[in-house]
Amino acid sequence: MTAVSNPISVTTGPITGSSKTYRELPDGARVPFRRVHLSTGDHLDLYDTSGPYTDDTAVIDLAAGLLARPGVLRNRGTQLQRARNGEITAEMAFIAEREGMPAEVVRDEVARGRAVIPANHNHPESEPMIIGKAFAVKVNANIGNSAVTSSVAEEVEKMVWATRWGADTIMDLSTGRDIHLTREWILRNSPVPVGTVPMYQALEKVDGDPTALTWEVYRDTVIEQCEQGVDYMTVHAGVLLRYIPLTVGRVTGIVSRGGSIMAAWMLARHAESFLYTHFAELCEILARYDVTFSLGDGLRPGSIADANDEAQFAELRTLGELTKIAKAHGVQVMIEGPGHVPMQKIVQNVRLEEDLCEEAPFYTLGPLTTDIAPAYDHITSAIGAAIVAQAGTAMLCYVTPKEHLGLPDRSDVKTGVITYKIAAHAADLAKAHPRAQERDDALSTARFEFRWHDQFALSLDPDTAREFHDETLPAAPAKSAHFCSMCGPKFCSMRISHDVRDAYEKGMAEKSREFSDGGNQVYLPLAATPKRI
């Protein structure tokens, strides 16, 4: 790879309390898991997005890039085409093991267009993963420099850092210097699929003047990125000339960069979007590499006032039309969604997307449930993200505390990823995803048994959990103490609860006759788990 001036260093080594493990498939592929080691001698294996960086036996050479998966062949057709032909691909088998789902379900969901496997033939460094509502809800982390800030080295480390904490895909949204080079370093070293918005690089090629864009410049940029290995591309092909007037009365107009660039182009030329008029040609290009469309919502609402308006839903209808064209070309498709939406209007977005776009995976940004909390928009949007995911959204695009204010730094990236893992997991629980509750139960059991180290190891962020605990009780004995500083020893409900349980069990043996008139339910047999209602 072309060398970069700044030295690049990334975070490596296992997450506290865990180690990397693999399950080997018949074809020799090794499916990674994060194994959490418990003080009881048990362990729990978790879905792991972090690649070789958390494997302390792996040798990392950033300049050479990650090792390619064996057996990735070009020109074998897309996962969609192969699924329709009844083939269970190597990627599908890998994903089935990763998700704990039958391979036939994976194939069927892909064949129906209800799930996508973003896996450009030219990105063999990536570990196969799936985005679809039958599977665990996924999280994307946006990284990338802007004209104002950041360097290649920082962006590579952000990619490694984001996947360490659970990002399932990365979008490189660079708009500044060295777009191609930054992307090259990210792609060659990314263990997860990488998405882009090719429009950003195309605009750089015409010196930032939207009206100077042409289909040819855009097309060549798409081909360049396909060749490089980008796994999915946001294309704002649903922003049509006739929709622009629908945005004029809005509080916040057009807030999507891609959408506003195309709107500027269309108004200047008084012509229909070249993304729309050349869409079939775009499909032919993406099909060759098995690059997945992420049909962008260029007219998404940027404020509570603009949510679910005619501009937004007019574009969604066009995205439905484009979905059918893409699928006819064998190209995998997902659909991007809002934005800023108050809670009571969120579910309608999912139902409409499913109706109009044949249940293509929905991929939403938030949505933010209020406009009034800049600096906390990871939280305003986590509320919306959990709700939209419960309703069927397949992947959530994270929002960081810097949203609306600046470019996220390393710390913001981690906060954004962890916050969105919470929303995704809350939705997995709500959807009764197989295995989702295992981790909750393991952590709560550790909590009840005062196994502090296990509690930390099982949490989304072991280091911060431990650090918070240690702020007031840093000494080693506190790690097995039957209380914490929150209530102090006298008031620990869990400690008292153990005493209650002991007393109850003792009472069972000694006192059962004496107190049987206290009501039938007083001395339920211990073995009988209370009924859930």
Which residues make up each annotated binding site for [4Fe-4S] cluster?
484, 487, 492
CB of 375 to a second copy, least distance (A): 4
d(CA 504, CA 515): 12
Applying CB under 8 A, does 284 fall inside the site for a second copy? no
- The closest alpha carbon to 184, from 172, 192, 176, belongs to 172
The CA distance from 464 to 444, in Å, is: 18
For a second copy, the closer CB: 147 or 328: 147
Min separation Cβ 347 and a second copy, Å: 11
Query: Do residues 183 and 156 make contact, with C-beta atoms less than 8 angstroms apart?
Result: no
Q: Does 380 bind a second copy (CB under 8 A)?
A: yes
Closest to a second copy by CB, 65 vs 507, is 507
Strand partners, 170: 141, 194
Pick one of 115, 202, 382, 397: the residue that binds a second copy (CB under 8 A): 382
Figure out which of the listed residues 13, 70, 100, 406 binds a second copy, where binding follows CB under 8 A: 406
**Shortest Cβ distance from residue 373 to a second copy (Å)?**
5
Contact 270, 211 (CB under 8 A): no
Torsion angles phi and psi, residue 170, rounded to 5? -125, 135
The smaller minimum CB distance to a second copy, of residues 178 and 371, is found at: 371
Our CB check for a second copy shows the closer of 233 and 304 to be: 304
Residue ranges in 331-360 that form contacts with a second copy under rule CB under 8 A: 340, 342-344
Q: Which is nearer to a second copy, 40 or 493 (CB)?
A: 493
Position of tokens 């999912």?
A: 350
* CB of residue 76 to a second copy, shortest distance in Å: 37
Binding site membership for Zn(2+): which residues? Answer: 340, 404
Residue type, 395: M
Cα separation, 299 vs 412, whole angstroms: 26
Record the tokens describing residue 133, joined without a space: 């509502």
Query: Cα 208 vs. chain centroid, distance in angstroms?
Result: 30
Q: Tell me the C-alpha distance between 171 and 194, whole Å.
A: 6
The reply to whether 386 sits near a second copy by the rule CB under 8 A is: yes
Report the residue from 88, 223, 246, 285 that binds a second copy according to the rule CB under 8 A: 246
Phi-psi region of 104 (alpha: psi -120 to 50; beta: other; left: phi over 0): alpha
Q: Which of residues 111-170 bind a second copy (CB under 8 A)?
A: 146-149
Is the preceding peptide bond at 367 cis, omega within 30 degrees of 0? yes
The residue range among 2-10, 106-114, 188-196, 256-264 that interacts with a second copy, by the rule CB under 8 A, is 256-264
How large is the C-alpha radius of gyration of the chain?
A: 25
Nearest Cα neighbor of 173 from 151, 143, 139, 141 is 143
The verdict on 414 binding a second copy (CB under 8 A) reads: no
Annotated binding site: 142, 171, 200, 236, 256-258, 297-300, 336, 340, 363, 404, 484, 487, 492
Say which residue the tokens 């107009």 belong to. 253
Site for a second copy in 499-518 (CB under 8 A): 499-501, 503-505, 507, 511, 514-515, 518
Q: Is 533 in the site for a second copy (CB under 8 A)?
A: yes
x-marked contacts with a second copy along 82-111 as a string, rule CB under 8 A? ------------------------------
Distance from C-alpha of 13 to C-alpha of 19, rounded to nearest angstrom: 9
Query: What part of residues 168-227 is at the interface with a second copy (CB under 8 A)?
Result: 175-176, 200, 203, 208, 210
467-496 residues in contact with a second copy (CB under 8 A) are: 467-469, 471-473, 484-494, 496
What is the DSSP secondary-structure string of 312-324? Answer: HHHHHHHHHHHHH
Encoded amino acid at 256, one letter: S
d(CA 205, CA 213): 9
Q: Does 61 bind a second copy (CB under 8 A)?
A: no
Tokens for 338, please give them. Answer: 């809002």
Quick one: 64 or 524, whose CB is closer to a second copy? 524
Binding flag, residue 268, a second copy (CB under 8 A): yes
Query: Which of residues 423, 433, 454, 457 is near a second copy by CB under 8 A?
Result: 423
